[in-house]
């Protein structure tokens, strides 16, 4: 005669999914995005860029012009910024970030000053449209 056990067998716990592989994948993705991201220095003042379509290839140096005509290049301001921007090596493109509300006459005047100072290649940066 077979006796019933005094204690009932414990029910088996459902096995949980392993979390460590998922954490590894998340960290690998985080490292990938951090390594491939481009870190761009902030503009010295707020700008609203004009819209245009075309190539997005631009140089590595930038001249900024605010809506009220304030000019900045790296740490220089005003006429010193223009002189420093125009003294780039031959063939080096100068990116020009001008506010969309900047009067065209002011932009033309700045471009004329850059040409007089010896700038040979100026690229005006716009928002893609």
Asked if residue 63 lies in contact with residue 72, where contact means CB atoms within 8 angstroms, the answer is yes
Res 75: pLDDT: 84
Is the residue at 8 inside a domain? no
Residue 90 has which token pair? 């031959």
Is the residue at 85 inside a domain? yes
DSSP 69-101: --EEETTEETHHHHHHHHTSPTT--EEEEE-TT
Q: What's the domain count of the chain?
A: 1
Domain of residue 66: give its range.
Answer: 62-128
24-64: per-residue pLDDT in tens? Answer: 999 999 999 888 887 777 778 887 877 777 655 544 678 89
Residue 47 has which token pair? 């700008």
Helix (H, G, I), strand (E, B) or coil at 33: helix
Average pLDDT across the chain, whole number: 82
């Amino acid at each position: 005669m077979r006796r019933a056990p005094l204690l009932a067998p414990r029910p088996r716990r459902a096995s949980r999914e392993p979390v460590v592989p998922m954490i590894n994948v998340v960290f690998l993705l985080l490292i990938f995005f951090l390594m491939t991201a481009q870190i761009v220095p902030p503009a010295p003042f707020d700008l609203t860029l004009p819209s245009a379509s075309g190539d997005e290839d631009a140089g590595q140096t930038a001249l900024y012009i605010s809506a009220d005509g304030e000019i900045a290049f790296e740490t220089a301001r005003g006429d010193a910024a223009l002189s420093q921007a125009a003294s780039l090596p031959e063939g080096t493109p100068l990116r020009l970030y001008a506010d969309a509300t900047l009067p065209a006459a002011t932009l033309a005047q700045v471009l004329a000053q850059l040409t007089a100072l010896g700038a040979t290649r100026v690229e005006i940066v716009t928002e893609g449209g």
